[in-house]
Amino acid sequence: MSSDILFVSNGSGKAIFLTGRDVLVKSFCSLSDTCSSRDSCRSCSLINAAKNHLTGTKSESNVKELDGELSAGIGEYKIGRNVLLKGMGLGSCIGVILSDVSTGICGIAHVLLPGASEKGETKYAETAIEKMFEDMVKMGARKSRITAKFAGGAQVFKHMNLDMLKIGDRNAISVEETLVKKNIPILAKDVGGDVGRNVIFNPADGSMIVKYTTKGDVLWL
């Protein structure tokens, strides 16, 4: 069974295609908000380029293959090279992405709580970011080229008004403070609100895709 993850871009937009048995299975497209077919479109220049690549009927220079995917569960971080990264079901949690686009090395942390852990638990923002950063450098990422993007931190339980219970806000603040302290440039963020998110990172161009779990809105950052 052949399974590939393709990134396709052209002057009109860009898309990630998940494939199986040389068939397009699922897509994430930057044009989904303006396309009448949204993510179920069967024919456009992006889809045609992906199909041509899969069938080998035409060489497409604007198609790149990714080397698989990694998903970080709650309190985990995952790192890899040239892989699609996922952080799913983010409510008050934050999906923190670090990447060095020059080497293709990237990582995602699924942060549950603010602050640091004396026991090294990576569910805490500061601990997760520091450990992920160190492991990326060991893999070959260059410290000076590592940048960050993050999303999440929703207030999913609207009736909780006490500041100490607003974990989403506290997570977002803790993540940003840690990144600033480590001099890691923040290129994009999408935090707050009252709707959960799924986050996907594409190392081919450094884009973070944020999909809202109930509204269905999609952001490419």
Stated as kind and residue range, the H or E segment containing 179 is: helix 167-181
Active site residues: 93
Rg (CA), the chain: 18
CA dist., res. 112 & res. 84, Å (int): 21
Neighbouring C-beta atoms of residue 33, cutoff 10 Å: 12
Neighbouring C-beta atoms of residue 28, cutoff 10 Å: 21
Neighbouring C-beta atoms of residue 47, cutoff 10 Å: 17
Residue with tokens 């871009």: 9
